[in-house]
């Protein structure tokens, strides 16, 4: 008989990208590294969440790919650049999931508010949805998080993540035995 594998069930904070991590004021489609502008308080908030034991996973709709404004390679370069900016602060996201489809180009199963990107990450990283969160800046983000069984926090677009991180950490500490 083969020994049973033990899996560690993890906690995660899922984050929308534009408007939550990156300032999107004045431009909806962000497909170049020159357009990246990390919101205030993001590095410190993400570092605190990592130190509290959370994986950080970015979940983002990138309909600009589907509209031909930029490529998948451009999106991946933006993600590498965000990681490079946040890495020295100990705040680098653990992974990125993005939907390249635009709603005008037909039906898609991965675009938020559908939870498929979140569910893929939960399966890959053995994430416990009951101990995990989604931080977004639109009702579509909250809907996706709730559909995946996560607790959700909506913040004002392009604002600090500090309060949201403090709330998550405080509630997690309260829930621990």
Domains of the chain: 11-175 (3.40.50.1000)
Of the chain, the percentage scoring pLDDT greater than 90 comes to: 83
Catalytic-role residue among 16, 24, 137, 141: 16
For residue 105, what pLDDT is reported?
Answer: 75
For residue 7, what pLDDT is reported?
Answer: 57
Distances in Å between the Cα of 43 and the Cα atoms of 20, 40, 93, 95 are 12, 8, 10, 16
In tens, the pLDDT along 50-65 reads 999 999 999 999 999 9
In tens, the pLDDT along 74-104 reads 999 999 999 999 999 999 999 999 999 988 7
Query: Nearest 5 degrees, angle CA 29-CA 59-CA 78?
Result: 50
16 is catalytic: yes
Give 62 or 176, the one with higher predicted confidence. Answer: 62
For residue 177, what pLDDT is reported?
Answer: 57
* Cβ within 8 Å of residue 165, ≥6 positions away: 45, 46, 48, 49
pLDDT band at 9 (very low <50, low <70, confident <90, very high): confident
Indicate the range of 1-15, 39-53, 104-118, 122-136 predicted with least confidence: 1-15
| pLDDT at position 34 over 90 | yes
Mean pLDDT for the chain? 92
What is the Cα–Cα distance from 132 to 164, expressed in whole angstroms? Answer: 13
18 is catalytic: yes
**149 Rama class: left (phi>0) / alpha (psi -120 to 50) / beta:** left
Catalytic-role residue among 18, 24, 137, 141: 18
| pLDDT at position 3 over 60 | no
Quote the tokens at residue 162.
Answer: 């500090």
pLDDT band at 8 (very low <50, low <70, confident <90, very high): low
For residue 174, what pLDDT is reported?
Answer: 79
Residues in the chain: 177
């Amino acid at each position: 008989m083969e020994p049973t594998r033990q899996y560690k069930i993890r906690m995660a904070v899922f984050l929308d990208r534009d408007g939550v991590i990156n300032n999107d004021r004045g431009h909806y489609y962000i497909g170049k590294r020159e357009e990246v502008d990390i919101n205030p308080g993001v590095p410190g908030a993400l570092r605190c969440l990592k130190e509290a034991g959370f994986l950080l996973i970015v979940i983002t709709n990138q309909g600009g790919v589907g509209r031909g404004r930029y490529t998948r390679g451009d999106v991946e370069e933006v993600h590498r650049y965000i990681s490079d900016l946040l890495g020295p602060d100990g705040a680098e996201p653990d992974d990125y999931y993005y939907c390249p489809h635009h709603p005008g180009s037909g039906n898609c199963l991965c675009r938020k508010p559908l939870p498929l990107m979140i569910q893929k990450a939960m399966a890959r990283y053995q994430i416990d949805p009951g101990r995990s969160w989604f931080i977004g800046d639109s009702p579509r983000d909250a809907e996706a998080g709730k559909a995946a069984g996560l607790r959700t926090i909506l913040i004002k677009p392009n604002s600090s993540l500090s309060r949201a991180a403090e709330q998550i950490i405080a509630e997690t500490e309260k829930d621990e035995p």
